[in-house]
A = this chain, B = another copy of it.
Amino acid sequence: MRPLIGLFLIAVSMALAGSVPIKTLVFSTATSTSYVEMIPQRPMNLTAFTLCMRVATELSGQREIILFAYRTGSYDELNVWRELDGRLSFYMAGDPVLFKVPELAALQTHLCVTWDSTSGLAALFLDGKRSLSKIYRKGHTVRAGGRVILGQDPDSFLGSFDEQQSFVGEICDVNMWDVVLADSVIQGMFAGKREPRGNVFDWESTELRINGDVEVAIREL
């Protein structure tokens, strides 16, 4: 049981590290014009990734909600959705992989999506709790050269937005890695750890370009 003392000290230092101020995005109403572009830190040709965010919405019922969109000229390279029926999904240039999980709601959810090309393993994490794995797009590569936006689903290159698919609510702490992080690492970030920092997107340093009616505020994690 000795190691637990060490764990305790780690935990206390973590807790004492205190509150971290971060930007947060509030989309107050459904629009076909408001969105935030995120500028990646490296080209987005990816054979694996972990994408995390903190998200809350009061939208419910029969409504699609776009959570993350990465589009090149002709393809939805990586789009994350809440589907009409409440399922969560992501699409990489074609049919989606879908997960029947508890619904996003007004209390914030820490959501992560992981995928690896070699095995095809795809999984979600809601508040640190892992979903079943599914096999999806084994051998596929996400292409570089597109644009990433929050708030709208582009049906053409950064355009053709549909208000009925827009995001309404709050979204923040969007981070992305070009590897699949271990379950325990994702659980740690849910619990407040700020390491490792994302190498595709690091919310604390990524450039955000605001368009339309999006409130950018600071809160303390």
Please report A residues at the B interface, Cβ cutoff 8 Å. Answer: 1-20, 24, 26, 28, 56-58, 60, 99-102, 105-108, 119-121, 123, 126-135, 169-170, 180-185, 187-188, 190-193, 215, 217-221
Contact = CB atoms under 8 A, between A and B. Distances in A.
A97 to B, nearest CB: 11
B107 A5 contact: no
22 contacts: A1-B14, A1-B16, A1-B19, A1-B129, A4-B15, A5-B11, A7-B7, A7-B191, A10-B15, A10-B188, A10-B190, A11-B11, A11-B191, A15-B184, A19-B184, A26-B135, A101-B105, A107-B130, A107-B131, A132-B169, A183-B220, A184-B221
B132 A4 contact: no
The 6 A-B residue pairs whose C-beta atoms are closest, nearest first, are: A19-B182, A56-B132, A182-B220, A7-B15, A1-B127, A4-B15
Contact of A12 (B11, B13, B56, B215): B11
B3 A16 contact: yes
Contact of A192 (B4, B28, B123, B134): B4
Contact of A133 (B6, B101, B170, B181): B170
Contacts of A130: 56, 107-108
B1 A18 contact: yes
B19 A183 contact: yes
A130 B11 CA distance: 15
